[in-house]
């Protein structure tokens, strides 16, 4: 019998939630039961044999919800080896992916008791019309944010492959 996987995610504009739900579908296609929940809705990590964490990077930082989740579930997380995906760069250049990885590692280093099975950086989506607070307020004042075109470099094939790899280990 396969184990159950919890995919817990933090999102601001919905993109990370879309990716988390997609990964849940990929795991189900591979025969792995799972539950996909926003981090704020996760009461306990009990009953889940495996965990996938998902979060976006905004200006080099994870959302506060991600940090709250790690602190709240510290005891359970310190006994697990969760996988973690991060949506970061919105341009297909290696230097942007490397920078996002370095920023994610810096954020995760705040939790030396957290030992990930894997950290994977995926391209993200940028839509200046779907910015969360406080970024949406800044955009209203005609800043440079308004000049950045919308882009979506999420690689759904790579995400499915990553999730399928997890399914083989779960």
Spell out the domain ranges in the chain: 5-169
Q: What is the pLDDT of residues 6-15, one digit of tens each?
A: 999 999 889 9
Query: Helix or strand or coil: residue 132?
Result: coil
Q: Please say whether the beta carbons of 8 and 39 come within 8 A.
A: yes
Q: Which residue has the higher pLDDT, 150 or 169?
A: 169
CA dist 38 and 40 (Å) reads 5
Task: Kindly give, in sequence order, each residue whose CB lies less than 8 Å from that of residue 120, ignoring residues fewer than 6 positions away.
Answer: 83, 84, 85, 86, 162
Q: What is the pLDDT of residues 4-39, one digit of tens each?
A: 899 999 998 899 999 999 999 999 999 999 999 999
pLDDT at position 136 over 60: no
CA dist 81 and 53 (Å) reads 11
Q: What is the pLDDT of residues 45-80, one digit of tens each?
A: 998 889 999 999 988 899 999 999 999 999 999 999
Predicted local confidence at residue 1, as pLDDT: 38
Give helix 156-169 / helix 15-29 axis angle, nearest 10°: 50
pLDDT at position 166 over 90: yes
pLDDT at position 138 over 60: no
Other residues' Cβ atoms within 10 Å of the Cβ of residue 113: 10
CA atoms within 13 A of residue 26's CA, in its CB half-sphere: 21
What the block records as the tokens of 74 is 């510290």
Predicted local confidence at residue 102, as pLDDT: 97
Q: What is the mean pLDDT of residues 125-142?
A: 61
Output DSSP code: residue 150. P
Question: pLDDT band at 84, cuts 50/70/90?
Answer: very high
Q: Which CATH number among 3.40.1260.10, 3.20.20.70, 3.40.50.360, 3.20.20.120 corresponds to the domain 5-169?
A: 3.40.50.360
Q: Cα dihedral angle (100, 124, 133, 65), rounded to 10 degrees? A: -70
């Amino acid at each position: 019998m396969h184990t159950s996987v919890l995919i817990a995610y933090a999102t601001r504009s919905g993109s990370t939630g879309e990716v988390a739900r997609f990964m849940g579908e990929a795991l189900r296609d591979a025969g792995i039961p799972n539950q996909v929940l926003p981090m704020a809705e996760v009461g306990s990590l009990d009953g889940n044999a495996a965990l996938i964490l998902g979060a976006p990077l905004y200006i080099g930082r994870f959302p506060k919800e991600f940090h709250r989740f790690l602190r709240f579930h510290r005891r359970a997380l310190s006994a697990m080896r969760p996988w973690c995906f991060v949506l970061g760069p919105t341009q297909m250049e290696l230097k942007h992916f490397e920078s996002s990885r370095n920023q994610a590692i810096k954020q995760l280093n705040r939790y030396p008791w957290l030992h990930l099975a894997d950290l994977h950086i995926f391209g993200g989506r940028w839509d200046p019309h779907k910015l969360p607070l406080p970024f949406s307020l800044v955009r209203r004042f005609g800043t440079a944010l308004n000049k950045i075109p919308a882009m979506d470099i999420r690689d759904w094939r790579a995400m499915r492959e990553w999730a399928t790899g997890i399914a083989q280990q779960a």
